[in-house]
Structures are given as C-alpha cells and as structure tokens.
Amino acid sequence: MKLFGLPVSLKECIGVKGMDSTIGYSSLINKPALEDSVIVKVLKSCGAVPFVKTNLVQGMLNFESSNPIFGKTGNPKNVNYTPGGSSSGAGSLVGSGGSVLGFGTDIAGSIRNPAHLCGVCGLKPTMQRLSKIGLQGSLPGQSCLSSCVGPLAQDVDTLVLAMQALSCPLMSQLDKNIPPLPFNDELFQSKLKLRIGYYTNDGYAEPVPAVQRAVLMTKEILEKAGHTLVPFKVPRIEDAMRILSSALFADGGKTCMENLKNDLVDPVNRYLYWRLSCPAFLRPIVKYVVGWGSPRIAKDLMVYGGGDRSVYRLWKIQAETEKYKKEFFTQWQDLDLSAVICPPFPIAAAPIGSVEHTTALTSYCALFNLLNCPCGVIPVTKVSQADTDKLKDHKGNYGDKWDNHNKKVNENSTDMPVGVQFVGLPWMDEICLRLMKEVETQILLQKHES
C-alpha cells in the first residue's frame, strides 16, 4: 500500500460514490455517482485517502477557473491571478500546500497549464496508463485528442510515487483498456545520457520572454548534466492546430451547446460560446471582416461550430491526424531523440478574467494530446522585471489580436511562476519523469548554493 494514509484531492469531474460531478453545469446537480470511479478504487486500494474535490472551469474547456456553481479559484501565489485550468482547483490546492497529491484531467493542457501557472509539478501520462472509467467528461465520444487522468504535486518524487502505485494489476483488472504495464523503475533510474530536442517558439504562438527563458535555462541544466540538446522544429504547426480544433469540435460544437442551452454561461466562456454559436451563414462574413486584421483568427473561426458534421468529415479528420502523427514522429526519429523540452503555455499567470480562451493559447499543450505523448511540467523560474521590460518589444509571430492579448495580460505578472514542459514518446512516461527529476534536483541545488 504505497500511498497508505496519504490525503489525495480529486478534480470535481472524478466520480466518487454519493457525490456529484457537475463540471460546472447546473443540470448535473443532485446526480451523484452510484460507485467510485476506477481511479478512486485503485487509490483507495493503495491506501490513499481521498478527502476533497477541487474546482474547475465550466465545461473543462478553458484556461480560466470559474463556474456558476462553485465560483472562482485563485492562484496560490496571488489570489487575484488565474491558477489556469481546467484542473485549476488541483493546481491551486497543491500550490498552497493544502494537498500533497492531487489528480486532474488533461485534454488540451488541463493538468500542465495549472502546474505551470501555480508553480507545481504535473504529469499528463500516455492515454490508457490510468483509467478514465467513472469520470464525467465534457465531450464524451471524442477520441482524436487523448484525454488523460494525471497527478499534480509539489515535487517530482510524489508524481513518481503516484505512478508507481497506480501502475498495478488492479487498474487493468478493473479497466480492460488499460494494459498491465508496471512502472519501469529501470528506465526512470537510468543514467544513460540522452539526445533531447528543444524549442522556445512553435511558430504559432510566440511565448512571452519569461517562458522562453525558462526553456533555455532548462537546456543549459541538461547540457551541464551531459545530455545533448538539439533544436527541434514542430512540423506544419498551422495544420496541426486546424486538425486538433476540428477534432475537438467535430460535432460542430453541438455537445457544448446542448450542455449550455438551459444553463448560465460563465463569463469566462463567453468567447468560446460565441465561436460555437455563431450561425453557419454568418461565419464567412465574419471571416472576411476578421481576415483583414488576422488571417489566422479568420481561419480558426471556420473550424468551430456549424458546417459539415458528417461521419465522412470525422473520418477525414482522423486520417489527417494519423498522417500528421507519422510525420511528427518520423522527424523525431530522424533526430534520434529520447525527449523534447518546450514551453507548456505561451504566457505566465495573469489577472483573473483577463485570459481569453483563444486557440493560440493551446498549441504547446494540445499538440501532445493529439500525438498521445506523455508530458510533464515542473516550475523552473519566476517572471523577472527584466522579462516584463522586454514585453514592450514583444510582437508575436503574427502581430494580431491574439499576440497582443498574450503580451497585454502579462504586463503585471512579475514574480509569477514559470514552468517547462518535458515530452516523451508514447509509453515512455518514465523518461519524462527522469528528466523532470534531474532538472528539479539541479534547480534546488542552485537555490541552496545561492
């Protein structure tokens, strides 16, 4: 019982017998789960003590944290700043010391984003390392972007402990989709020097200076440890963003709109709601007008809502997904990489309510849901005054409204946490955790010496 007596927090969507999982929708109030979800059953079998459910954003498709039932959640470093989302309560509670170990879910960065913004550690495992049976989802049936359950903690050792405990026979006995794959301690403990790719800008959303600096800091730490770091370029990033947005809303936004039709729309979801509800006949007109200022935003608008919802279109999206994955992993293989480091998010924490849900915010996380890569985030640094000063020259890759948004929201983010994302090949979760631990150890040593 590796987790004996350990208090564990659970994202509100994770099923616990006798408790609601509303995901911020009033229509799901007073509909308690009839039994524990598989992840809760396994946690209890490991000796863990689930003690609280944590807040999330309405519908779990936003990087803010608010819903009409439970209200807002603040960042543990500054309660007036967003903790990110959608596993916002998990990031905030762990970051404030209220929970040693929390569990969230991640479909486009919902674990890694709050880990980055709250200054904690988080892991999005390979899909089907941990069971999702018994969870309330926002887009049931959607399978192109892999949704995962994963842990958040104050240090990497606790993430490792959680994955060691949960990679047990009971998980695959209760959920036949989960392979009986034990945690690979040999891979995690390996001292073999690795070849690692890195990038600070994916070409879609240029991160603010603090986020780029964090990646370069991590690159330097890994090089000093004897690893080889080589530049990596994300292939066809605009196509990747079109594919993943198309996959996420292949139903034309119908599922989201059905959930919201008799409910209050939380203010943080207004922009998403507008994109999904805009009538099909109006979209070409809006696209034409918006296109004068940003072709990128105009193209994105046509992906959300309305239009063709046929099985034929869905199959085309799935075929494009497989083609893109082959291209991406061929490039990875050609460079002989074991892992990649990159930003987890283009911005640092910003004031609550200031972060619009734009596609430009999703590229660094959602890409790896599309690819089903395991990814982890650890805190590396904080936004410095020098980082903030550099914002005045920050233009972004397109110089459009989305780039200006990312610049503006971080104008007062000095001293907020900044994380780095570690990415491995599918089923190589232990390599991510190994590198996260190595970098974490060196950062702690540097702090001690200073």
Active-site annotation, residues:
11, 86, 110
Contact 380/333 with Cβ under 8 angstroms? no
Q: Which residue has the tokens 């001690």?
A: 448
CA dist 329 and 423 (Å) reads 12
Helix (H) or strand (E) holding 418: strand 417-424
CA dist 288 and 292 (Å) reads 7
What are the b/e assignments for 278-306, b being 16+ CB within 10 Å? beeeebeebbeebeeebebbbbbbbbbbb
CA dist 146 and 127 (Å) reads 6
CA dist 213 and 343 (Å) reads 10
Contact 381/210 with Cβ under 8 angstroms? yes
Q: Which residue has the tokens 């709050």?
A: 114
CA dist 413 and 384 (Å) reads 9
Q: Output the six-digit token pair for 387.
A: 């980082």
CA dist 446 and 450 (Å) reads 6
Residue 327: exposure state from Cβ atoms within 10 A (0-12, 13-18, ≥19): middle
Binning the chain into helix, strand and coil, the percentages to the nearest 5 are: 40, 15, 45
